[in-house]
Structure formats: C-alpha cells, structure tokens
Structure 1
Amino acid sequence: MPRNLLVSGVLPARLAENAGAADWVATLSLSGDLAGLAWVEVLGPAALNFSASLLPGLDALRLTPAAAVDFESLADPVLGFSLRFGFADGSVWDDPVGRRVTVTDVDDTAPTALGFASGGTLVAGAIGAVIGRLAVTDPDTAGGFRFTFGDDDAWRFEVVDGVLKLRDGISLGLDDMPQRPLIVEVSDGHQSAALLLWIGVADPDTRLADLPEGETRGGFGLVDTGTALALRESRDVARLDALGDGEQLLILGEGIQVVLPAVQRVRFADGFQDIGAGSTGVQAAALVQALGGQAAEAQALGGLVARAESGVAWVDLAASLPALAGSDAAAVTALYHNALGRDPSGAELAADMGRLAAGVSRAQLAVDLALGTEALGRQPAGGVWVADGLGADDAWRAGTGGLPDPAPPPPTATDPVWLL
C-alpha cells in the first residue's frame, strides 16, 4: 500500500565550515502514515555531508553534519539533499521536497604562497631601496596581511603598505647576487605561515646612471635625465625586469646587463619605449584607447607621437581619429568604457552632456578624459612601444620591434617553510 508522510520544519539556512554534530542540528516533524516507520536516510549530492536519524518515541527526525565540510574543496557552497524513509514491511517513501543548506567560509587556512605583484629586483648597494609590491595567496582572506621577519632579517627589511623595501640606511651586497632568499611570516589575522621569497639582486656596475657623462654601457647611454639612448635594436633585449624604484634591468641577448634609470623614453634604432603619464607616447596611446577601445598599434602610434611633438594640438589629433558614433549619451558612455573601463556616474554623465550641449566638441571631451589621471593610470606601467618605420628603409625588419614584457618574479615557494 502506498505510504504518505508529511515532513515539516525549517533547517538552519547556513552551516559553518568544519561544523560538527554539536554545532549544527536540525529537527523536522513527521506526520501522516507513520505505522512501521523504521529508518531514514539522506539522498542527493550532499548525502555524505549529513546524517539523519529518527527520534525514538517522537514523531520527528534529527539531521546533523556527518563530517566536517571544507569550504575550499566545494565547487558549490550550497549543499542539496532529500530524505528517504523505510518501513518494517520493506516499503520506502521518498520525500519530494529538496532541501538546501549554504556552507559559510571560516578562516581556517593559512596563507599558501607569497610572491611579487610588481618589482622583485633591486641593485646591490642601493640604500633603502624599494623591492616590490607583495602578492599573497590565501584561500580565505583577500587582504589585510601582516608581514614579519626573523631576527636576522628584521633589521634589514620592512613592509610599508604592502611594499617590501630595505630599511633606511640598509643595502644588499655583492654576495647577495643574483638572488637572495628571504623567509617571511605572513599572517591573515587568524592563521600564519612562514613562506620563502626570492629577491633578485642586480650588479651595481651595470647602472647606467652611474656612468660619466658621454660614456655608454652595453651600447646604452643617457641623453638627459629623461631619455636613454641605445645604439642597438629593441630585439637585442632578451629579458626585462622592473625594479621597485622605477629603474629597469635589461638583459641583452649576449648576457650583458644594463640598469636603466627611471627615464620617460628609451630610444632604440627601431623605435622607442615611452614610460609614464608625462610621456607623449603614453598620452597618445591613452587617446587611441579612449576613442577606439583598444590598444594603439605601434606604427600608428609613431605617427601620432611625431605629430604631437611637432606641435599639433591634442584636440586636432583626436579629430583626425575615427569619431565616436551614436547619440551624445552613447558617445560619453563609450568614452568612459574605453578610457576608464567603467560607466560614468550620474553626475559625470550630466556634466559631460552639458559640455557637449554648450558646444564643446567630442574630440575635446575625449582629450580631457584620455589625458586625465585615471585614464593614464590604466596604461601599461612599463610604458608603450612606439615604432619608428624609417619609411621604405625598414623593409628588412621583421615586425615593429618592442621590448619584451616584464619577466615574472623569481620563483616562489607554494609550501610553508618549516622552522625548527
């Protein structure tokens, strides 16, 4: 004979990670055809996560966690299941109601890896040098980490706003080249781990800024405080490391190292790298991005930079590029998407619509937005490559040149270091 039961009651909606039988308990009432009811079990994807039992003498059942649940191992934090009841005569009844419980994360995992988000290399002998911005991998915590060092290193290193640097008056020596290991204890406020970090250390004899005026090193020299000149092509650079203080370590194909100071332009035989918000190349790239929604092509960028440096106004350059289509509102929205990667706020949209209505051109609006601090800050930190076509004489070249992307930071330990 078909059975019919009614299961009523409300489950606690949330189950904390690692909760045990005493931490999460649900009691559900039973009514209907209970004669001969002998057992209950859990079905569904989360069947192994819960344990169900009938309460003797009561028309009810109890649910508890069957085992601790690890939040980080779940593909979906919502656990779904249903109930099946068995009777003494061998018949069963499946409850048609599906039940769901959400597992909440608990900070029970220490940081698992430490590396550099940027930087990671410094020059031996550089006093109080910035090394790089730290990046922590932690399954439970997004930020707010605390960094400490052992007694042998605490007097040398410090972390300021997430940036690893040498303390004032401190430098690393030649014996630390080419890499120096550093054990850092990283705490997320609840858990901590000692992790190994590798710091790149460059030879101070490679610093271009230390050369006497008029001399070159590795084919590189300084034109002025903002410009470096290379008597070679960009393809000769095999590796590029960004240093924490704005300098760059270039490793040439033949193994020669050159540390460039924080200049705005590095000129090669086949073009130049413009670096920083004040450089013409970065400003031109930001304008192309604002109007076209994509990075500027190196050769086209060369033409724009040449015109800008010959005295053509930015608004005239903007007017020569493909115009934004659509209504004024659509054009303003497109500009914000392209240049800033976001929608304009209500106040921003109203202000820019008002400027257009007052007669300001779309080209002027694009220049104002593209050359603003927010848009320029979204351009590559290492700068943009501006190709020098040299007319028909560059046909022998393969491609438009350009420096390699900054190298990844030195290898990072993914397992905690055991301190004995």
Structure 2
Amino acid sequence: MKGVGDTVTYTLSGPHAEYFEVINDQLKLKDGISVNYEANETLTIAVQVTDSGGLTATQTFSINVADVNDAPSAINLSADSIQDGLEGANVGQILVSDEDSNESFTYSVNDDRFEIVDGLLKLKTDQSIDYNSEPSVDIQITVTDSGGIEYTETLTIKVGGIILDTKSFSENDAGASIGNLSVIGLDATSSLIYSLSGEDARFFEITTEGVLKLKDEFQADYERDASYEFKITVVNETGDSLTTITTVTVEDVGPSIGESQSACLG
C-alpha cells in the first residue's frame, strides 16, 4: 500500500494493542513491556494503515508467544517447626512458586543435619535439635527446575513445636479424645489459639482446654483409614505462630465375644 515517497500512519487496536507500537514500519513491544506464555499463549492485534491520501487498510494478526523456562521465584514450607529433641523429626513439605505448570524440581539443603525426601524437609534419622541450645535454625534450600535454573532461599525453622502427648486412639468411638496439646518455643502470657488444616482436619477439633479430639459425629474405622495427617497451628496474643504436621493412628479393636458368636451363628 505504501508507495515511493508516500507516508503512512499506523493505528493499533485489539485486546493486546496496548503492548505494541510501530517504529520505522516495524511492529515491536513497547519499552518495558514483556509477555508471559503462561498468561497469554497468543496475542491478537489489529493494524490499520492510512496513507497520505486517506486510504486505509486493516489486518488482524495473531502473534504466538514462545514458551521459555521461567525461574522458580519463591520457596515456602507447609510447616515451620520441629519437635524439641525428636530424632528424624519432619518439618514440612517444600512448596515452590514457579510460573511453569507441571514443573519438576530437585532439592538440596546446606545444613547436613537435614535431608529432603520426596519434597519433605526433615531431620536425618540420627539427628535431633535441642530447643535450649538452638531455639531456631536458619537453613538455605536450593531448588533446581527441569531446565537447570536454580533458586535459593533462606528459611527459619523454629525448634520446639506443638506436642501431642498421645498419638493413637481406638476405632468405633465417636468424639473420642486423643491427647493433650502443649507448646514449646512460643511465648504466651494468655491463652493460645489453635487451628487445624489439611484434608483430614475436618474430622478433628481442639477444645478450649487444648485437647485434640474427634468431632462428636465422627468415629474412625481402622479398616477404612489407619492413620490421619493434618497441620496444627498455634498463635499467641502477639501474632507469633508455630505450625506442626501431626499424624495420629487408629488402633484396631477386635469384635467382642458376643459379636464374634453372632457372626459365627449367623
């Protein structure tokens, strides 16, 4: 459309026109603008050309965005404390923020007392940490994505945690009390506030006295689920908190003599 010596003007429109400009007859991204494959795989823009005589032509373009490997951007833990003096204690699952979907990672930790197994940060089997000598531990976790990009973050692990004095209970006992909770490593001058989270948390509750129990309408069945895992979080009056992953097990209870006889006679 552009003739020799003719001048043209360009007008951009469409859902992604704000990202682009035309400089010296070349369509380009504006300075400071970048695009993300995970947000938009295709950009659509309409270009209208107007010559010096007022004639116009318009064409719509679909521009494909090439996918590139994005670097991991953050590391978090599903829980942030370990029990005082417990060898091999679990800390929590490593949660990595990365814009690439279905990304896989390898992990390393700079403190030889710890290891990462299937994404779970934990103390090695023969290692424990004493709250009185080390109330918290700073560790560096490095994640490497499938494209070889590394990201390192320093995380603080609190030593002490939430202690449940009994971690097993009998099946077929609706609303059963499981054990008493106590806290090490969190200062409190008034009552502590507990909460539960995780898929299995819906079956449990914590009383105002700090007792973990089954909800009144729920009774466990060993044959259905032999254990339950959930997170317990405790918060003090200043907003400081601890979160611990807890597993409780269900004790198999055999049928009574009367039940056995009925089963045999039936």
| Range into which the TM-score falls when normalised by the shorter chain | 0.5 to 0.7
Aligned to 2:76, the other structure's residue is in SS state: strand
Q: Does the alignment pair 1:82 with 2:46?
A: yes
Q: Report the number of matched residues.
A: 218
Residue correspondence of structure 1 range 347-362 to structure 2 within 5 A = none
Tell me if the contact between 2:81 and 2:159 (Cα under 8 Å) persists in the aligned partners: yes
Question: Separation in 2 of the partners of 1:269 and 1:69?
Answer: 54
AA matched with 1:159: I
Q: Deviations over 1:56-105 (max 9, x none)?
A: xxxxxx65666686334996554332323344xx3344433322223243
- Equivalent residue number for residue 12 of structure 1: none
Counterpart position of 1:110: 71
Identity in percent: 18
The correspondence for 1:192, drawn from 146, 150, 171, is 150
Question: Paired residue for 2:104?
Answer: 144
Unaligned stretches of 5+ residues in structure 1: 6-29, 55-61, 210-221, 231-236, 242-247, 257-263, 276-280, 282-301, 315-370, 384-402, 411-420
Pairing of 1:202-351 with structure 2 (within 5 A)? 202=160, 209=165, 225-226=168-169, 228=178, 254=190, 268=207, 273-274=212-213, 281=215, 302=216, 304=217
Counterparts in 2 of 1:139 and 1:99: CA distance versus 1, 3 Å? same
Asked if structure 1 preserves the Cα contact closer than 8 Å seen for 2:179 and 2:213, the reply is no
Task: Name the aligned partner's letter for residue 75 of structure 2.
Answer: L
Residue in 1 aligned with 2:92? 132
How far is 1:254 from its partner?
Answer: 3.5
**For 2:156, what is the secondary structure of its paired residue?**
strand
CA contact (8 A) 2:72 2:150 kept: yes
Give the 3-state SS of the residue equivalent to 2:58 in structure 1.
coil
CA contact (8 A) 2:159 2:185 kept: no
Instruction: Return the offset for 1:186.
Output: 1.8
Contact 1:41–1:53 (CA under 8 A) maintained in structure 2: no
CA drift of 1:38 comes to 3.1
What's the TM-score once normalised by structure 2's chain length? 0.59
| Counterpart amino acid of residue 230 in structure 2 | A
- Contact 1:132–1:164 (Cα < 8 Å) also in 2: yes
Q: Which runs of 5+ in 2 are unaligned?
A: 170-176, 193-202, 236-240, 245-266
CA separation of 1:48 and 1:41: change in aligned 2, threshold 3 A: farther
| Correspondence for 1:71 among 21, 28, 35 | 35
Alpha-carbon shift at residue 47 of structure 1 (Å): 5.9
| Equivalent residue in structure 1 for 2:12, among 38, 43, 51 | 43
Quote how far apart the aligned CAs of 1:208 are.
6.1
Q: What letter is aligned with 2:43?
A: L
Structure 1 95/52 Cα, relative in aligned 2: closer, same or farther at 3 Å?
farther
